[in-house]
Amino acid sequence: MSNETHQDKKLVGVLGQFDSPDALLHACENARQSGIKKMDAYSPFPIHGIEKALGVPRTILPFFVLAVGLSACAAGLGLQWFTNATENWGPWSGYQFKISGKPYFSLPANIPVTFEIIVLSSAFAAFLGMLALNRLPTFANPLHRIARFKRATNDRFFLAIETSEGGLDATSARNKLMEYGATDVEEVWLDQTDHQLPAFLKTFLVLALVLLLLPPVMVFRGQGMTSRQTRLHLNPDMDFQHKFKPQSLGPVASDDPLGFFFEHKRSALAQIPGTVSRNQDDSDSTFLRGIKAGPDSHHTNIKIPVVLASNQEQEALTPAAAPVEPDWVTEFPEQFDVNQENMLLGQKKYDIYCSVCHGYSGEGDGLVNQRASALAINGGTTWTAAKSYHDPEVVKQPVGRIFDTITNGRATMGPYASRLSPADRWAIVLYIKAIQETRANVPPATDVPPEADKNAGAKAE
């Protein structure tokens, strides 16, 4: 071969061909014993003992996977602790959310998530670690330029020995391979141009990059814009679930010939007489219900959530079920401290739960209310507008009444008892009273009495 053909090429090794796995194994063994380190064997199938024969050290991959697995364990637990068990931790704090009545940080409930994170991370670590340790992916291997090497996936066995300047030279490598019983020996030339990206790949990558930029650009463009198109449902089976909400109506009788549903076509059994559900604990009427404890207090205002088949039925029942106005609590209960901390808690919870309808300043101008009212005008829906807290009727309401509204809901407003603890609800009442105070009774800026908050509820009556 002339020098000209090898202008861009470099001799990197010698490849020997063997006819049987045993011959290859022997050759590897001999090569290792004669001190050759840089070599690799190629075979159509795994050969037991080849790693030993080649002198391949045991991989460090298991330790890498173990380290990643243990870190994932810590990260998985930490993630759940941080997101669900911390609150008021500065700008990046988590958000305490009660799930199934379990503690915010509850090991048994956290283990499945932690376990999955460990499994996923370990699998990634094993796969990507394997690629990295094998220096993969590579664009080219000089062995693929050799025609006979294709048989390495079929019926021949190869041993490639690397040559280098100052190390093993090609002639002695060739001689050694022949000595070990190679049936054919060939030089391996590295074509320098092989390591350049092919032109079509460059075009493809640039195109892919441009296309990848499109979604973020579209998201950025869509921000702050209104659209008249219906929402895109990426997970329709999650957005429209085939299920019945608790205590709602089941399907009409013709849809349910087998009678799976409960009496009065309800989707669930009515509360069994004598049982107390989690949110109907009335051991402390003042704190838990906003109604003064008295001989009759536990009879009033116990809502048995029954949704009746039609509005007519509901209306027919309404007069009979019309409750006597209970004896509302007028002062904040003893367990609840009126202080700055609770005021901030109330503000926080108000902004999350209430402001969407009632607006940040309590005018009843929240976004949901605006949208729903607009739809109602067009005749699309029915909607009872969210109340303004500055409405004189509302200002007159005692704290217990507001507490009850949050707990059980009113008109279109749903109950929040399942989402807010009693203390959270009282904090919201406190904040609402403060909002009302900003309009009703603005004190001179100079002398705000220290107990202003404490008196807020009483004054507003």
Partner 1 sequence: MHHIRKAEITSPITTLASDTTTRLVPVAGIAGIGCIAGAFLLSPGGFAHFSHAYLVNFCFYATICIGALFFVLIQHLTRAGWSVTVRRIAEIMACCLLPLAVLFLPILIPVMLGSSELYTWNTSRDSLGWAVGDGDMYDLKTVFLSKNFFALRNIIYFAVWSLIAWSLYRWSVRQDETGEKSLTMRMQGFSAPMMLLFVGALVFGAFDWEMSLSPMWFSTMFPVYFFAGCVLSSLATITLVALVLQRSGRVTDEITVEHYHDLAKWTFAFIFFWGYVAFSQFMLIWYANFPEETFWFRFRSEGGWMTVSMILLFGHLFIPFLGMMARTVRRSKTFLLFSSIYLLIMHWVDHYWLIMPQLGASVHPGYNSPTPIPGPPIPELLCFLGIGFVLFASVCLIAGKRSLVARRDPRLHEALNYNNP
* CA 52/CA 430 separation, integer angstroms: 76
Q: How far is the CB of 252 from partner 1 (least distance, A)?
A: 29
Which pair of structure tokens corresponds to residue 168? 């093993």
CB nearer to partner 1: pick between 66 and 197: 66
Q: Does the protein bind partner 1 through residue 323 (CB under 8 A)?
A: no
Piece of 50-58, 88-96, 207-215, 218-226 that binds partner 1 (CB under 8 A): 50-58
Among 11, 19, 40, 51, binds partner 1 (CB under 8 A): 51
Q: Binding-site residue total for partner 1 (CB under 8 A)?
A: 20
Asked if 366 and 386 count as a contact pair (C-beta separation under 8 A), the reply is: yes
* CB of 59 or CB of 183, closer to partner 1: 59
Does 246 participate in binding partner 1 (rule CB under 8 A)? no
| Minimum gap (Å) between residue 108 Cβ and partner 1 | 5
Nearer to partner 1, 48 or 243 (CB): 48
The two structure tokens encoding residue 251: 């399907």
Distance of CA 360 to the CA centre of its chain: 28
Q: 177, 16 in Cβ contact below 8 A? A: yes
Query: Which amino acid belongs to residue 32?
Result: R
Smallest separation, CB 127 to partner 1 (Å) = 18
Q: How far is the CB of 122 from partner 1 (least distance, A)?
A: 12
Is 46 a residue that touches partner 1 (CB under 8 A)?
yes
Q: Say whether residue 90 binds partner 1 (CB under 8 A).
A: no
* Residue 320: CA count within 13 A, CB half-sphere: 5
Q: How far is the CB of 433 from partner 1 (least distance, A)?
A: 37
Residue 112 in the binding site for partner 1 (CB under 8 A): yes
Does the protein bind partner 1 through residue 202 (CB under 8 A)? no
Cα(460)–Cα(404) distance, integer angstroms: 17
Decide: is 395 part of the binding site for partner 1 (CB under 8 A): no
What does DSSP assign to residue 353?
Answer: I
Q: Is 57 in the site for partner 1 (CB under 8 A)?
A: no
274 lies in the binding site for partner 1 (CB under 8 A): no
Q: Is residue 275 part of the contact set for partner 1 (CB under 8 A)?
A: no
Our finding on whether 111 is near partner 1 (CB under 8 A) is yes
Range in contact with partner 1 (rule: CB under 8 A) among 108-116, 294-302, 320-328, 331-339:
108-116
* Beta carbon of residue 8, minimum distance to partner 1 (angstroms, whole number): 39
Task: Name residues whose C-beta falls within 8 Å of residue 177's C-beta, 6 or more positions apart in sequence.
Answer: 14, 16, 27, 159, 161, 185
Does 101 bind partner 1 (CB under 8 A)? Our answer is yes
Give CA–CA dist 394/386, Å, rounded. Answer: 12
Write the single-letter amino acid at 387.
K
State which H helix or E strand residue 457 sits in. helix 452-460
Helix and strand counts by DSSP (H, E) for the chain: 16, 4
Nearer to partner 1, 62 or 251 (CB): 62
Smallest distance from partner 1 to CB 418, Å:
16
Smallest gap from residue 46 Cβ to partner 1 (A): 7
Residue 215 contacts partner 1 per CB under 8 A: no
Q: How far is the CB of 293 from partner 1 (least distance, A)?
A: 30
Three-point CA angle 227, 229, 233, nearest 5° = 115
109 binds partner 1 (CB under 8 A): yes
Residue by residue, what is the 3-state secondary structure of 117-141? HHHHHHHHHHHHHHHHHCCCCCCCC
CB closer to partner 1 out of 102 and 233 = 102
Q: Is 22 an interacting residue with respect to partner 1 (CB under 8 A)?
A: yes
Using CB under 8 A as the binding rule, whether residue 53 contacts partner 1 is answered as yes
Other C-beta atoms closer than 10 Å to the C-beta of 293 total 15
Strand partners, 162: 13
- Residue 109 or 130: the one with the smaller Cβ distance to partner 1 is 109
Which of 91, 108, 137, 449 contacts partner 1 by CB under 8 A? 108
Residue with Cβ nearer partner 1 (106 or 300): 106
Shortest distance, CB of residue 58 to partner 1, whole angstroms?
8
Question: Long-range contacts made by residues 126-135, C-beta under 8 angstroms, separation at least 24?
Answer: 126/61, 126/65, 129/61, 129/64, 129/65, 129/68, 130/61, 133/59, 133/60, 133/61
Using CA atoms, how far apart are residues 374 and 372, in angstroms rounded to an integer?
A: 5
**Residue 18: helix, strand or coil by DSSP?**
strand
Helices (H), 223-280: 236-239
Asked whether position 25 contacts partner 1 by CB under 8 A, the answer is: yes
How far is the C-alpha of 328 from the C-alpha of 63, rounded, in Å?
66
Whole-angstrom distance, CA of residue 217 vs CA of residue 205: 19
Burial class (CB in 10 A: 0-12, 13-18, 19+), 407: buried
Choose the binding region for partner 1 from 51-59, 229-237, 284-292, 340-348 (rule: CB under 8 A): 51-59
Q: Which of 34, 44, 62, 441 binds partner 1 (CB under 8 A)?
A: 62
Applying CB under 8 A, the residues found at the interface with partner 1 are 22, 25-26, 29, 46, 48-49, 51-53, 58, 62, 66, 100-102, 108-109, 111-112
